[in-house]
Amino acid sequence: MNRRFWNLVPMASLATGSALFALLGSTPPTELVPERAFCVPSRAHWLGCGDAGVDVLAVASHAELRGLALAGIVALIGWTIGTPLGALCAYRGGWPDRVLSRTCDLLQAFPTFLLAITTLAAVQRPSRVHVGIVFAFLAWIPFARLALTEARVLRTMLYVDAARALGASTPAIILRHFIPALSRTTAVQLGSSAAALVVSEAALAFVGFGPRDGVSLGSLIEQGVFSMLRAPHVLVLSATLLFVTNASLLIAGRALGAGRSEGFPGTF
């Protein structure tokens, strides 16, 4: 329990710190003051300024919160759709199992990042809602594949046969037995998916397909790359924050996975 708690501390600290700086900060993340462009960290601007004088701390804190919210919502959507779908198709077996497996193979063969760029290029003013919709379209696939693989074993368990013999319906078996038993693996995947979404959102902003308000870690990294010699602090700070966010989500996912499924029959 203590180990799981400490594994959740980095993510909780990062989210709490970002929220405090975003809510209590006096500088809006979109405020432009050209005369202070790329100024070094100071008492007035703790992390310095970026292109056109944006406050790096304000942009980073707001971008962190919005990125975490986007990643969390999309990953939860993927879990909500993919896990029950994979469990149901595996429980049914036969053609539902084969169709879902081939569908996942087909959709995963198409690059998600390319799909996002192609879709967002057709939107006049893309926002995080558009980015979230594009990512949610394929976010369920890894959860479905995991559930499909493990539920094939679960359907042969004696307690599943017993529940079926007692007259339990298919939805009841899926919800009461399969989903709890699958929660350990899918919780780890939840952290991995959220981490991948944070990086993907930053990558889209880096290449110019992110939210037009510029409040993104990818936008800060882009500023840092083009001013690497003039203001290296922008690149160092934004890249470090992206790395820490990604690592914290992965650690949190493993911690959640380690704390699930205890006491449920069929857990492995």
Cα 100 from Cα 241, distance rounded (Å)? 37
Question: What pLDDT, on a 0 to 100 scale, did the predictor assign at position 1?
Answer: 54
In the chain, % of residues over pLDDT 70: 96
Cα 96 from Cα 68, distance rounded (Å)? 34
Query: What is residue 49's DSSP assignment?
Result: B
Question: What pLDDT, on a 0 to 100 scale, did the predictor assign at position 113?
Answer: 85
pTM for the whole thing? Answer: 0.87
Q: How far is CA 185 from CA 13, 169, 203, 263, in A?
A: 24, 24, 27, 15
Instruction: Classify 206 as helix, strand or coil.
Output: helix
pLDDT tens-digit profile, the chain (268 residues): 577 778 889 999 999 999 998 888 778 888 888 888 888 888 878 888 888 889 999 999 999 999 999 999 999 999 999 999 999 999 998 999 999 999 999 988 888 888 888 888 888 888 888 889 999 988 999 999 999 999 999 888 888 889 888 888 989 999 998 999 898 889 889 999 999 999 999 999 999 888 888 899 999 999 989 888 888 889 999 999 999 999 999 999 888 876 544 434 443 3
CB 245 within 8 A of CB 14: yes
* Residue 105: count of CB within 10 angstroms of its CB: 11
Tens of pLDDT, residue by residue over 16-35, are: 999 998 888 778 888 888 88
Cα 268 from Cα 261, distance rounded (Å)? 9
Cα 158 from Cα 179, distance rounded (Å)? 16
Closest CA to 256 of 26, 72, 37, 32: 72
Instruction: Classify 235 as helix, strand or coil.
Output: helix
Tens of pLDDT, residue by residue over 148-165, are: 999 999 888 888 889 888
Cα 23 from Cα 43, distance rounded (Å)? 19
Cα 96 → chain centroid = 28
Question: What pLDDT, on a 0 to 100 scale, did the predictor assign at position 267?
Answer: 37
- Residues contacting residue 224 through CB under 8 Å, at least 6 positions apart: 50, 231, 232, 234, 235, 236, 237, 238, 239
Question: What pLDDT, on a 0 to 100 scale, did the predictor assign at position 262?
Answer: 42
For the chain, domains (ranges, CATH) are 48-258 (1.10.3720.10)
CB 147 within 8 A of CB 182: yes
- For residue 89, what are its two tokens? 């198709």
Cα 157 from Cα 194, distance rounded (Å)? 31
Query: What is residue 41's DSSP assignment?
Result: P
